[in-house]
Amino acid sequence: MNTTTEPHWLARLCDPKHAGKRGRTDRPYLVEIDGASWTWASDARVLVAVPGLHAGAMWPDKEVSALVARMVAPGTGDAQFLDVAPLRAWCGPPVWRTDCPACLGQSRRRDEVSCEACDSTGYFNDDVIPGLLYGRPVDRRRLARGLEHVGGACALLYLDPDPEKPLRLHGDGWRICLMPLLDAPEGAPVFPPPAGSPAPGPLNDPTEQPP
Ligand SMILES: [Zn+2]
């Protein structure tokens, strides 16, 4: 059992902004997988689970426990065996949100503050970077964050027959559940890349610069 006292990297994935009635995005939580305790965190768009009890993680209520147990279980649809390194490269660097430099994050915390620079989200580098993963529109930025600290060379990707259901990616000692986007713009990068296409270069780097 991996028990640490340091704040776990999963805590960075949390996003209290989305912590609603059913959302448990304020801190890491626990789930039981095959009789073992795993720690998971979510920003309501990507959920990452790793084995072990990590500092600060709590058991959610029964309803959320059952929901998350279903989300981290293997999918019933087709599964793709894939290499993690090219998927990571396709996602781009795991850019993490920061407070908006224009409003210093105030538009997120205070209703009376509005900000054009960040659309009043209070965040910078938090918008969607779309791509098509085996034909499913996904946010490459959130997948990159999910993949940042997980290891292993290979993973299984479960594609639910219903394209609106989450995608499940299971690697060696980790599970990621990724909400699909409604659609992806024409020309969005495709994975696996078509034969003969150029490798991702600086033009595909989703990192933004402050205005
Ligand atoms: Zn702002």
**179 touches 46 (CB < 8 A):** yes
Rounded distance from Cα 121 to ligand 1 centre (Å): 7
Query: Same domain for 63 and 41?
Result: yes
Instruction: Quote the ligand 1 centre to 102 CA distance (angstroms).
Output: 5
For 183-192, how does the pLDDT look when each residue is reduced to its tens digit (9 = 90+)?
Answer: 999 999 999 9
Counted domains in the chain? 3
pLDDT of res. 22 = 55
* pLDDT-flagged residues of the chain (< 70): 1-7, 17-23, 197-211
In a domain, 151, yes or no: yes
Determine the distance separating the centroid of ligand 1 and the alpha carbon of 152, expressed in angstroms: 38
pLDDT at 202: 45
Q: Based on the fold, state whether residues 85 and 185 are members of the same structural domain.
A: yes
- Digit-coded pLDDT (tens) for 56-103: 899 999 999 999 999 999 988 789 999 999 999 999 999 898 999 999
* Torsions phi, psi for 170 (to 5 deg): -115, 120
86 and 156 together in one domain: yes
- Rounded to two decimals, what is the model's pTM? 0.85
pLDDT computed for residue 203 by the predictor = 46
* Cα of 17 from ligand 1 centre, angstroms: 15
Q: Are residues 167 and 208 in the same domain?
A: yes
Same domain flag for 124 and 171: no
> E strand or H helix at 41, and its extent?
strand 36-42
Both 121 and 21 in one domain: the answer is no
**In this structure, are 86 and 144 located in the same domain?**
yes
pLDDT score of 108:
85
Answer yes or no: do 80 and 144 share one domain: yes
Say what the pLDDT of residue 78 is: 81
Q: How far apart are CA 70 and CA 51, in angstroms?
A: 16
Structural domain span for residue 45: 9-71
